[in-house]
Amino acid sequence: MKSFDFTDVTLTDGMMKRILDETLAFYLQIPNDNILKYMRESAGKPAPGIAYTGWYPNSRGTALIGQWLSAYSRMFAVSGDEAFREKAVYLADEFWDCCEAARTTAPFLTNRSHYDLEKLLRAHCDLFLYCGYTRAKEHAEYLVAFADRHLTKDNLFGDNSTEWYTLTESFWDAWEILELPQARELAERFEYREFWDIFYQDADPFSKKPLAGLYSEFCHAYSHVNSFNGCAKAYEMTNNPYFLKSLRSFYRFMQTEEVMATGGYGPNYEHLMPKNRIIDALRTGHDSFETQCDTYAAFRLCKYLTRFTGEPEYGNWVEALLFNATAATLPMTEEGNIIYYSDYNMYGGYKKNRQDGWTCCTGTRPLLVTEMQRLLYFEEDGGLYVSQYIPSKLHWNRNGSPVTVCQETGFPEENTTSLTLSLTAPAVFPIHLRMPGWLAGTMTVSCNHVPLSATVDKNGWLTVCREWKEGDCLTVALPAAVWMHSLDPVKKGPNAFLYGPVVLAADYTGIQTPNDWMDVQSLPEKMRPLPEQPLHYRVEGIDTITFRPFYEYKENERYFLYHDTTAHATKFHKKQ
């Protein structure tokens, strides 16, 4: 199965388009002089611009430049705006001029620059693919040779101080896209077999402890999920079943043990932990989910798995992260402040941008936002697969004939989506639709207001196959309702409430916490929609609690997302 690239899919009016437009505008206006200031100073060059604070001076900007070069390249592909291509090429040229000038006095790369090098190598693949950057291969060759000669070889299990185990994907990309033979050797050298073996063997996922790194009681969440994107790329390049088995086993582990109602994971200083420790972290901490980086890692993992298996379930995780992470982030500030951690504390959480600016998440945010467009549709054997219900337009070259699919929807506030087709000539082919895990009824389809029969294919997609003609409109009903998620199904809690894929957080104006005053287990049947306020709910019989989408909350508005039924004796609506 193939995914579509940035130029094939355009977001149209809706929530995700607004997020994309805001992100493009924010990153385009970052002054080049500010981005390059510390690098130019290190190179002994004139360095106008503002000196960024926060994380930026620690790396002189080299920890972010790779991600931003990728982002600007992709933004050019997404928008067609020449300003993004010019910015990407200018920053790349200036970076390398500074790198060369500072090589003997203040080198940008060292034997522990695994993280920076991985981002830079991926950036040059993007510069080559989307900007036609003529020096991409030359610079990538230097990066590969540097890695071979200088990067540490005694890489320890779980060492997230370097994240050495994330390099495999970028080396494979350099081998495939830029045709660098040595990159394949390095892709294989940096394989994280010691971690991947655990899942290949279906062993205890917590049986090995990190031997080095930061906060290393358990494995670092983002980088270890990201390591499996290297595992996925290795499968794509070699077709070795070891990689796919490990990948699928790891995905099952994440869904059953780690992933929360929002799609987030990795609380308590970004750890993959046993479920009881996750629940403890939701009681005691406010660092519930490294929002930007973790979302980007999961998006790519799900895209790989959808392509390899042809199965729709991976779109469920993507959907949760679109509405509860991507859309639930506060706007960035000019000082580089961004939501680093989402806060799901059971005794009250708040959205806050991180105080120190220009963290790694400011590099990842534009990548996950642009990645959205590659997650909506897939194709195989002349058939179309619709994985997400987002307003968008697909330009599809189907077996040499152009097909345009325009998806219009008010989802999730409305429970239908429509796909209007434009074809040069009638054509017979299947359209496959993901059936979300939250469906509250039968998913039905009609074409031009006439009901159609549909079948479920072998992989679980709802499928309609017919002759399609110019202007045909396929309407899909997506019945949804309020439902309850239990993080630990055995203990039946803690719980969160959702409408379809959208997490509903509680506004509470009473004393103590809402956990003390409501019977959480019976709550869904007592929630009543508020008129003219989509996805807002009151609770029958109590006027101090209302629910609304988590993505609506603004900075410093208190909310309750998870409800702790295991630590409180609930007093409200107790069954006699």
pLDDT in tens, 466-510: 999 999 999 999 999 999 999 998 888 899 999 999 999 999 988
pLDDT single digits (tens) 297-356: 999 999 999 999 999 999 999 999 999 999 999 999 999 999 999 999 999 999 999 999
Alpha carbon distance 351, 342 (integer Å)? 7
pLDDT single digits (tens) 374-431: 999 999 999 999 999 999 999 999 999 999 999 999 999 999 999 999 999 999 999 9
Q: What is the mean pLDDT of residues 423-449?
A: 97
Q: Is the pTM of this model over 0.95?
A: yes
* DSSP for residue 254: I
Question: Is 239 strand, coil or helix?
Answer: coil
pLDDT single digits (tens) 70-101: 999 999 999 999 999 999 999 999 999 999 99
Q: What is the mean pLDDT of residues 27-37?
A: 98
Q: What confidence tier does 576 reach under pLDDT thresholds 50, 70, 90?
A: very low
Percent of the chain at pLDDT > 70 equals 98
Of 237, 223, 213, 216, the closest CA to residue 192 belongs to 223
pLDDT single digits (tens) 242-278: 999 999 999 999 999 999 999 999 999 899 999 999 9
H-state helical runs in 310-428: 314-321, 361-371
pLDDT single digits (tens) 139-178: 999 999 999 999 998 899 999 999 999 999 999 999 999 9
Q: Is residue 575 over pLDDT 80?
A: no
Per-residue model confidence (pLDDT) at position 403: 98
Is residue 179 within 8 A of residue 131, CB to CB? The reply is: no
pLDDT single digits (tens) 191-227: 999 999 999 999 999 999 999 987 778 999 999 999 9
Per-residue model confidence (pLDDT) at position 541: 87
Q: What confidence tier does 521 reach under pLDDT thresholds 50, 70, 90?
A: confident
Average pLDDT taken over every residue of the chain: 95
Percent of the chain at pLDDT > 90 equals 92
Per-residue model confidence (pLDDT) at position 217: 86
Is residue 403 within 8 A of residue 421, CB to CB? The reply is: yes
Burial class (CB in 10 A: 0-12, 13-18, 19+), 27: buried
* DSSP for residue 494: S
Strand runs labelled E in 4-59? 9-11
